[in-house]
Each structure stands twice: as C-alpha cells, then as structure tokens.
Amino acid sequence: MEILSIPIEKVKGVGAKRASALKDVEILTLGDLLYYRPRRYLDRTQVLPMARAPIGQEVTLIGQVRQTRFIPGPRPRFVMVVADETDDITCTFFQGGRYLQRNFAVDDELAISGKVDLFQGRRQMVHPEYEFILGEERLHTGVVVPLYTTSADMKERGLRSRGFRRLISGALDAFAEQIEDDLPASLRQRLGLEELGASLRQVHFPASLAEAERARQRLAFGELFTFQLRLARRKKNREQADGIAFAPSEKLVPALWDSLPFAPTRAQRRVGAEIAAQMQRPQVMNRLVQGDVGSGKTLVGLSAMLMAVENGYQAAMMAPTEILAEQHFFNIQALVAPLGLTVVFLKGGQRKVLREELLTAIASGAAHIAVGTHALIQEQVQFARLGLAVIDEQHRFGVVQRGVLYKKGAKPDLLVMTATPIPRTLALTLYGELDVSVIDELPPKRKPIRTALRGRERRPAIFEFAGDQVRQGRQVYVVYPLIEESEKADYKSAVEAYDELRHGPLAEFAVALLHGRMAAEEKTAVMEDFKQNRVQVLVCTTVVEVGVDVPNATVMIIEHAERFGLAQLHQLRGRVGRGGEQSFCILISYAHAGAELADSRERLQTMERTQDGFEIAEKDLQLRGPGEFLGVRQAGMPAFKAADLVADGDLLQSARAEAMRIVASE
C-alpha cells in the first residue's frame, strides 16, 4: 500500500482517542496528516519587542506569562500580563475566563497576536490570538513556527498547535523516506522541483515564509499533475475506443438551417463544423459546448442530432428540468416534423400506457429523436441504435448521470452543453477530459440588457414601468426566491406576490403563477400561455432559471435579489434580451444593513456593471470559492489540499501541459 494511505492510528503518538479527535478535521490517514496545512505561520523575524509595539496596529509579540488573574464582578474577565525584556502588556479576555485561568501558568512562553491599544496608560490586547511556543524541541524554536487549526476535542487530547507540530515532525521522521513521489523524477529534475517528502517537511517547518509558499506550490503542482494525468489517460482511452464514423449530413442539417428565420452566427457555424468534423472520425466524441445564455446552443446541438439521424442512428437530448425539456421537445418537434422525423418526449409521471408506447418507439427505432428529463436514463429505456447523446445545461447533472446516458448506446458520441460559464481553471479540472467548443458570440441585433439595482421602496415605480412595457406588447417575469424557504420572516413568496400583484399594480394584465410545486400539466399550460402571450406577466420561482426561451419577454424583475447567487442572477437575467427589443433587468434588494447588505452589494453591483458571463463567473468564483461555486451537484470534483483553484491557474495550466505530454508519449 502507498505509505500515505496508511491509517492514522499507525502513526506514533496516535491512539484510538486521538485518532477519533483527528477525524474532526478529516485526518484519517498519514497523507491527510502530512497534507494538513498550517493555518498560518508565526514568523519570529517579524516579531517586535514589546516596547516598540505601535498602538492601534496588529502585531505579534513573544513573551513570558508573569501574572494571571480572574476578576469577577459585573464584567468578569481574565487578565494576564505577558512580558519580554523590553516591556510588558496586559491581555484581557472577557470570555472563557475560568477555562483560560486553568490554561495559562506563570512562565509559559507565548506568542500573542492582536491589536495593541492603551488602557489606563498601559499597553493592552483584548482577546489576542495566542500560541504556546515554549519548547525544548527544535520545532518550536525555529524561526518560522507553523500554527494549526485544531478542534476542541483535539486540544483535549494534547493536540493544540504544539502537540500537533510534534506529531507531524515525528511522522515525517518515520515515513518521509518511504513516501512515493507524485512526480516522475525526470519531470522534477527538468522543472527544478523538490521531492515530495522534502516539500512536505518544508510546508510544516520552513526556514522562511517564502520557502513555505514555494513548498505549497510544489505540493499543489503534484496534486494537479496527478489529477490531470488521470484525465488525460481517460481521454486517450476513450479516443482509442471505436465509435461511430458518421458521414456528413447532406439533407437534414442543410434543410434545418434553411428553414430558420435567422442566419446562424459565425460562432454557431464554426462550432457546428467542429462537431461535425469530429463526428466523422471513428473515435468516440466527448465534447463540451460552452456558450453564454442566449448564444444559441440549441441549434448546434440539434444539428449534431440530425447528422446522427441521417446516418440511421437515434439521438437523445436530456435537460435538467421538465420545463426546459418540454420547451426543447416543442421546438425540436416544430423544426423537424417537416423533415419527416419522429420525436418523443419522456419525463417522470407520464401515464403508464403512454409511457409504454414511448418506450416501444425508442426501443424499436421508430423514434428518431428522444427528448427528456432524467427519465431518459432510467433502466427501462432501451434505444435501438443510439448514436448521439446531447446533455443540455450539463452542470446541473452529476458526472454519473452523464455516464449513464452514454451507456445507453454502443459507443455513442457525447455532446454536453453548458451555459454556466466556468472559469478556465475550473473547466480544465472538471471537464479536462472533454474537447471544448466555445460559442463566443451572441446573435446580432441584441441590445445590451439594462440592469438596475433598486431598494424595495421603489417597487411601485418598478411595477408601473413593467405595466408600461406590457402595454407596448412586451412580457414580464417577476421572480421570487424558492417557495420552500418562504416561511421565513419577511419573505415575499411567489404565491403571496401573485395575489398582491394581480389585484394591485398589475390588475389590468393577464398575470399567472408558476412554481415547482404545481402539477406538471399545470406548469406546461402556464408556460404555453406565456409563450403565446396569453399570459403577460409571469410570477415565478427559479423554475425558469435555466434555458427558458420567450423572446418577447423584455423585463426581468428579481425580488429579494440579495438572496441569489451570481450564477443564478446571470441565468435569470438571460431569460430576457433574447429578441430585438430593449430589455431590462431590475434587481430589488431588501437588504437594509449589516452583513447581508455588504455581502450582497458586491454581487449585485457586479450584475449592474457587466453582462459578460465569464467575468461574472470569475467574480463568483472569487467570492465563493470553488466548492461553493460548483455546488453539491458537481460530484466528481476533486478536493485538493494544497492547490487553490482560484489562485493557482498558472500551475494548473503547466501541470496539464506536462500530463498531456507524458500521456501522448505513452
């Protein structure tokens, strides 16, 4: 077994109790322990003598405890005097006094960090961060001391920072030699990188902060390289698998494009050609089409499907929501029925008789195209000859579901489409095994959407404006946060708002309600009415977030905009601006003060500033970090320990290039 995978109990100094405490911070193996990075470092070269500690600034000081005292009374507190050769300082704690009194003893050597202020003419720090640094061992007296995040349980088992340092140092002494390197020696030499064992030691016990960061980058590079190597091998294997070599489409695709009321953009043509070229090759295709909301991905996907059909195969398109799947079904049917093709629609909850009929059509090959939700990947669905699977809004599906549709055919080609622009570093991580086509152009004559951020007090004027737009023949979305959460305090749920708006400010218009809890037929009927402009104002939850396409809608009003994430806001705004008319997006914020306001303001102002999906995605990634950004749905996302996908973009690129080079030569 690889030495880093041995259970943590095998490490000297870890018994059953400590092992269970270490599990709190997800340390289960030796590798977890060695990759557990210091929360920060205490750089003693930066430590000031107390006499020179400036008032009002954050500093780190080192000294010995001279005196400790618990002061009861109306404001009970624990105070402790810490001194070095130059002066002393009082540390005051208003919380945890009794515990702290037991924690510190006179003569303990401490590093304290915090803001220095003056209290009754003396230097003081309130609630400083503290570390015990006294120790005979070299580890504790080095110039740069690592500080770790430890849980309460760990502290009780002697694993505050100091015990932790001893544990890690012992583990390094015992095992460092046996650690298998994660980089080939030749690569390491060429790039001038340290061995893994040495780098792990430097991360924990560096000679300088610069060395610590260099070592972290070395670990990050190793992680990224290992991951990219796996992706590159997977990609190569799949490319070697025999797939279908489709012939170019001579009838169906040209007929489809001729029938459109618009000219495809240059980007659509280019991506269409990239896909067609790859489908002609005998290897299995695995391609991602990235294109911002409204860039016209559907046409590109449908064209690929028709190429498969013309070659005598079936094609399938899967979408993450029923509303979107149904919209695709209606659109595709309208476009291909004149070409004599049969399209079926599969979703959950269909009547048994109908379902049997659809399944038979798919299994017999009578259905040329199947459109559906997750229902498409259920076991009972058997295709006669599936040649191409298209997955729309693929970020809404897990990696597993992607795989299942693929297995429904004998080596079908796979096309996944996503409107959520993903920053390049994440794309290379998540989709590193896919080829990528980008539709980087919007259809012409689209006017930029005017976006405005407003307070709730402006609602009357906003709805008056919406009414004006409706009078001019346009349509309006009013979006509310999810209905499940609506019980909370000042939430205005879609249902309540629906009643308010249709009896109040929008009384003269046809207003309808749409949310996830409505029956499927009801949803379909409402969407259809909206599409036909029989409904002028659609009050809804985020069920319309992805894919919904009604070009005549020009106003998107988002209530409680402060509750939405950037990606969601961008998707929602993408529902308008799809026709030639000027469109508007109005973000109504209910945040009045404090953290919520500060937190949401940056997001909402980003929305006001830009409409560029990639810029918004970068900002989103920065604000939320990669885990949150991708959400729980993105299973298959590796958890890197040293690498930071936001900051290490360059490292990732070079790790990827090296991995590709190695796999190409294998």
293 binds ligand ADP (CB under 6 A): yes
Phi and psi dihedrals of 398, rounded to 5?
-80, 165
Q: Per CB under 5 A, which of residues 291..320 are in contact with Mg ion?
A: none
The b/e string for 64-90 (b: 16+ C-beta within 10 A; e otherwise) is ebeebeeeeeeeebbbbbbebeeebbb
For residue 551, the partner it binds in Mg ion, ligand ADP, none, with Cβ less than 5 to 8 A by kind, is ligand ADP
197 binds Mg ion (CB under 5 A): no
Shortest reach from residue 205's CB to Mg ion, in Å = 52
Q: Residue 560, SS3?
A: coil
Question: Which one of 272, 296, 577, 613 is in contact with ligand ADP (CB under 6 A)?
Answer: 296
Sequence length of the chain is 666
Tell me how many helices (H) and strands (E) the chain has: 23, 21
Shortest reach from residue 302's CB to ligand ADP, in Å = 9
Site string for Mg ion, 546-585 (x = CB under 5 A): -x--------------------------------------
Which position has the token pair 């391609």? Answer: 287
Which position has the token pair 């988002």? Answer: 558
Shortest reach from residue 545's CB to Mg ion, in Å = 11
Residue nearest to Mg ion (CB): 547
For residue 199, the partner it binds in ligand ADP, Mg ion, none, with Cβ less than 5 to 8 A by kind, is none
Nearer to Mg ion by Cβ, of 124 and 611: the residue is 611
**553, amino acid identity:** A
Chain-centroid distance, C-alpha 590 = 25
CB atoms under 10 Å from CB of 226, counted, come to 15
Angle at 166 between CA 162 and CA 168, to 5 degrees: 115
447 binds ligand ADP (CB under 6 A): no
443 binds ligand ADP (CB under 6 A): yes
387 binds ligand ADP (CB under 6 A): no
562 and 491 Cβ atoms separated by less than 8 Å: no
Cα separation, 541 vs 483, whole angstroms: 7
Cα separation, 64 vs 107, whole angstroms: 5
Cα separation, 287 vs 433, whole angstroms: 9
Q: Per CB under 6 A, which of residues 526..555 are in contact with ligand ADP?
A: 547, 549, 551
Options 138-146, 404-412, 543-551, 656-664: segment touching Mg ion (CB under 5 A): 543-551
For residue 549, the partner it binds in ligand ADP, Mg ion, none, with Cβ less than 5 to 8 A by kind, is ligand ADP
Cα separation, 68 vs 441, whole angstroms: 68
Phi and psi dihedrals of 552, rounded to 5?
-75, -10
Residue nearest to ligand ADP (CB): 296
Shortest reach from residue 262's CB to ligand ADP, in Å = 4
Cα separation, 362 vs 369, whole angstroms: 8
Nearer to ligand ADP by Cβ, of 296 and 412: the residue is 296
Q: Per CB under 6 A, which of residues 253..292 are in contact with ligand ADP?
A: 262, 264-265, 268, 291
Nearer to ligand ADP by Cβ, of 326 and 648: the residue is 326
For residue 119, the partner it binds in ligand ADP, Mg ion, none, with Cβ less than 5 to 8 A by kind, is none
Shortest reach from residue 213's CB to ligand ADP, in Å = 41
Q: Which helix (H) or strand (E) holds 129?
A: strand 129-132
Q: Which one, of 395, 401, 403, lies nearest residue 632 by Cα?
A: 395
656 and 432 Cβ atoms separated by less than 8 Å: yes
Shortest reach from residue 637's CB to ligand ADP, in Å = 24
Cα separation, 508 vs 419, whole angstroms: 36
Shortest reach from residue 142's CB to Mg ion, in Å = 56
Shortest reach from residue 406's CB to ligand ADP, in Å = 21
Q: Which one, of 653, 649, 662, 657, lies nearest residue 184 by Cα?
A: 662
Nearer to Mg ion by Cβ, of 113 and 331: the residue is 331
Count residues near Mg ion (CB under 5 A): 1
Cα separation, 555 vs 534, whole angstroms: 16
Nearer to ligand ADP by Cβ, of 319 and 361: the residue is 319
Nearer to ligand ADP by Cβ, of 188 and 395: the residue is 395
Question: Which one of 59, 147, 299, 587 is in contact with ligand ADP (CB under 6 A)?
Answer: 299
Which DSSP category does 565 fall into?
-
Question: Which one of 203, 284, 419, 558 is in contact with ligand ADP (CB under 6 A)?
Answer: 419
Chain-centroid distance, C-alpha 509 = 39
Give residues in contact with ligand ADP (CB under 6 A).
Answer: 262, 264-265, 268, 291, 293-299, 419, 443, 547, 549, 551, 578
Give residues in contact with Mg ion (CB under 5 A).
Answer: 547
